[in-house]
Structure 1
């Protein structure tokens, strides 16, 4: 992240702290849902994509999703049952969020690329949730709901992040630090 201003770093830190608080709430809600209705657990996982996608859409700079995810994970690590493992998971999510834009060398930022990245991440999550939650022990309908929720949840929360980022951009928060949508 060359040419990184203090304003960009502080903006990412603010999004990261808000995301960390969101991660804390999501971990307890997700844990409760996993214990009570495990087939719906996949629907809670998209929350972890929200802070990184907001930062990416708002600033259109490489590395901001990873930075925000790291900060969110560190903020939430002390308050989650997973501890520091939560921060490592957040780093993984931030890295997956960066991949589609890295392919385009951080020059294109269309909304469909955010959705495509979320679908890719959702497929990775679905495979993990199938193994972690034990979908083999669920009935076929429950396994389908778990896998479908794991794929759709990142997409839904990424679209929500785009809406939040657009609202933030309309207030002028990113003026002067956001890059243009497409660069040659």
Structure 2
């Protein structure tokens, strides 16, 4: 993140703090869903992709999703049962969000790439949730709902993040910070 301005860092921090508050609510809601209806737990996981995707779409700069995700994880770590592990999980999510754009060397920012990254992240999450939640103990329909929800949730929340980022961009928040969508 060379040539990073204070304004960009403060904007990422604001998104990160808001994301951290969202992470706290999502952790308690997700824990409740996991205890009551474990097959629906995968649907709650997409919330963790929201802050990073907003920052990526809004600023179109490398590293902002990782920065925002880590800040969100650090803010939420003090208020979650997982503690510092929440920051490490957020770090992993930030890395997953950065990968598709890193492969293209941060030169292109099409919506389909956000969605492809979300699908890939969802598949990674589905494998983890299958093992973590114990889908082997669920019936086949429950396991399918868990895996499908884990794949679908990051995609839905990435679409929500894009809508939020577009609304923020329309207000002029990113004026002077956002890079062009295609830098060839």
Fold-level match, TM-score > 0.5? yes
Give the ranges of 4+ consecutive aligned residues of structure 1 lying more than 6 Å apart after TM superposition.
none
Offset of residue 28 of structure 1? 0.1
* Equivalent residue, structure 2, for 1:59: 59
* Equivalent residue, structure 2, for 1:82: 82
Distance in 1 between the 2:81 and 2:10 partners?
Answer: 28
In structure 2, runs of 5+ residues without a counterpart are: none
What TM-score do the two structures reach when normalised by structure 2?
1.00
Q: How does 1:17-32 map to 2 (within 5 A)?
A: 17-32=17-32
* Equivalent residue, structure 1, for 2:120: 120
Q: How does 1:33-182 map to 2 (within 5 A)?
A: 33-182=33-182
Distance in 2 between the 1:146 and 1:33 partners?
Answer: 12
SS of 2:179's equivalent in the other structure is coil
Offset of residue 82 of structure 1? 0.3
In structure 1, runs of 5+ residues without a counterpart are: none
What TM-score do the two structures reach when normalised by structure 1?
1.00
Offset of residue 114 of structure 1? 0.2
Q: CA RMSD in A?
A: 0.2
Deviations 1:18-68 (A, max 9, x none): 000000000000000000000000000000000000000000000000000
Distance in 1 between the 2:38 and 2:31 partners?
Answer: 9
Distance in 1 between the 2:86 and 2:10 partners?
Answer: 22
Offset of residue 148 of structure 1? 0.1
Matched residue count: 184
